[in-house]
Amino acid sequence: MQALDPTDGARCPACRRFIGPLDTCPYCDSPANKAFSLRFLRYAALVLAVAGMVLLFFMARSSRIPEIELGAVTPALNSATVRVEGNVAAEPRTGQADDTYISFSISDGSGRLTVAAYDPCAHILVERDLLPHKGDRVEVTGTVSIRSPGANRIVIETPKQLKVVKQATDA
Amino acid sequence: MLEIILTIGSAIAGCLAGSLLACIPALHIYNVMGLVMIGIYSLGAEAISIPPAILVPGTIGLLVGWSMANTIPSVLLAAPDESALLTVMPGQKYAMAGRGFEAVMLTAFGGLAGIFLLVLVVGPLAPLLMPTFHAVFRRHTHWILWVVIAFMLMSEWPRLGNRGQGGWHKFLQAWAPLCAGLLTFFLAGLLGFILRYRSPIVVEAAFQNMMPAFAGLFAAPWLILNIIAKV
């Protein structure tokens, strides 16, 4: 009496090589019909993936970007997309001559944070004269990036993420 | 002297812990590191700080130990999916032929050679070459990525050729993988955007916003495939 092979369903019916869950044998190109449960699982996974993404999409559309104080930025917030507001503490400075990097500090009384922008966002900010000046109150929406202790930054990717709420001369 | 001993000890401890954790199927080291970071932040809140001389070698050791020893479950316990056909399949082939240990040792040898290459060649040369590479590729990254995407989508191109009878059945059979590839690409892209800009994870734990996605995209399918393939 031949012993039952527990991996039988995972073998190619033609060449008997192990093919796992594949539909077509990668060795001999023979079709390997799978059990109904596997076919059902595949369609179920497809439906689940599409439905899940639709739900996630609507959740994302309806959710608001959290507003936080600058002092609340901790390493646990790394990679978070947040909105902050503060006064520009010093004139923005560029990292290189070709405007590929721009940074400036903002503070709100609770803490201090560096706002950074890279090319092409930095270039657009310079070109369209959208950079704030010392004393301006700005609203920044971006991604928190903490590379080392104390070096808290928020990175913006488009010029729309930086808004001058109140200019220094208005004060 | 004490700092050197602590650094080496931390790296060895990290390696050992990573090697042990690698034997747990479907557990990704990034999830473990996330938990480690939560612990470190909690200690920080209690005004207990771990010096970088211990933390950095420890986490790198964890990662290296896991990467090396992860070969054991991936060769001996895993069912490969189509994407891992060329990498895991030879290991599976060895395992099914009763030569799993040999496959593990060969993969570990390759990993070790990679580490030596990294330490002895890439390490000294990277600081010299990386700024040049960065300057050259910085403005071209977008189209390089588009080429990779195009290649990935084209790899789903109908493979049936002229075999079999023509007709709607063959037409659908040919286009199904391509449509599945396109759908996967768009869903994955949308998921990436949502996770980056509107993650459902609370902002206080944002540094772990990829963790649920890792569990859902890698751990769960891996386990389900193993169950179905009866490995």
Average pLDDT, chain B: 80
Q: How confident is the model at residue A3 (pLDDT cuts 50, 70, 90)?
A: very low
Q: Is A150 on the interface with B (CB under 8 A)?
A: no
Which residue of A12, A55, A81 is the best one to mutate when testing the B interface, meaning the one whose CB has the most B CBs within 10 A?
A81
pLDDT for position B83: 46
A93, A14: one domain: no
A52, A96: one domain: no
Query: Is residue A158 in a domain?
Result: yes
Query: Is residue A113 in a domain?
Result: yes
Inter-chain CB proximity A76 and B205 less than 8 Å? yes
- Predicted confidence (pLDDT) per residue in A51-70, tens digit: 999 999 999 889 888 999 98
Q: Which of A41, A53, A119 sits opposite B191 (nearest CB)?
A: A53
Reported as type and span, the H/E element at residue A165 is strand A162-166
Q: What angle do CA B37, B43, B45 make, to 5 degrees?
A: 105
- Predicted confidence (pLDDT) per residue in B130-149, tens digit: 888 888 887 888 899 999 98
- Predicted confidence (pLDDT) per residue in B146-195, tens digit: 999 888 888 877 766 666 677 787 788 778 878 888 888 899 999 999 98
- CATH number for the domain spanning A90: value is 2.40.50.1010
Residue with tokens 């790899």: B155
A75, A112: one domain: yes
A57, A97: one domain: no
Q: Rounded to an integer, what distance in angstroms lies between the CA atom of residue B94 and that of residue B106?
A: 11
Inter-chain CB proximity A20 and B203 less than 8 Å? no
Q: How confident is the model at residue A18 (pLDDT cuts 50, 70, 90)?
A: confident
The residue type found at A100 is: T
A56, A111: one domain: no
Query: Is residue A2 in a domain?
Result: no
Query: Is residue A144 in a domain?
Result: yes
Query: Is residue A3 in a domain?
Result: no
Phi, psi (degrees; rounded to nearest 5) at B199 = -65, 140
Query: Is residue A83 in a domain?
Result: yes
Give the mean pLDDT of B108-117.
86
A92, A144: one domain: yes
Query: Is residue A105 in a domain?
Result: yes
Residue in chain B nearest A72 by alpha carbon: B204
Query: Is residue A14 in a domain?
Result: yes
Inter-chain CB proximity B41 and A9 less than 8 Å? no
Domain that holds residue A133: 70-170
How much of chain B, in percent, has pLDDT values that exceed 90?
A: 10
- Predicted confidence (pLDDT) per residue in B187-220, tens digit: 999 999 998 888 888 888 888 888 888 878 877 7
The last residue of a domain, from among A39, A62, A85: A62
Phi, psi (degrees; rounded to nearest 5) at A140 = -125, 130
How much of chain B, in percent, has pLDDT values that exceed 70?
A: 87
A92, A57: one domain: no
A94, A50: one domain: no
The last residue of a domain, from among A26, A41, A62: A62
Give the mean pLDDT of A84-97.
84
Cβ pair B21, B27 in contact under 8 A: yes
Q: Is A1 on the interface with B (CB under 8 A)?
A: no
For the cut 80, the answer to whether the pLDDT of residue A83 exceeds it is yes
- Predicted confidence (pLDDT) per residue in A129-169, tens digit: 888 988 899 999 999 988 776 788 999 999 999 999 888 77
Please give the tally of structural domains in chain A.
2
A75, A58: one domain: no
pLDDT for position B148: 92
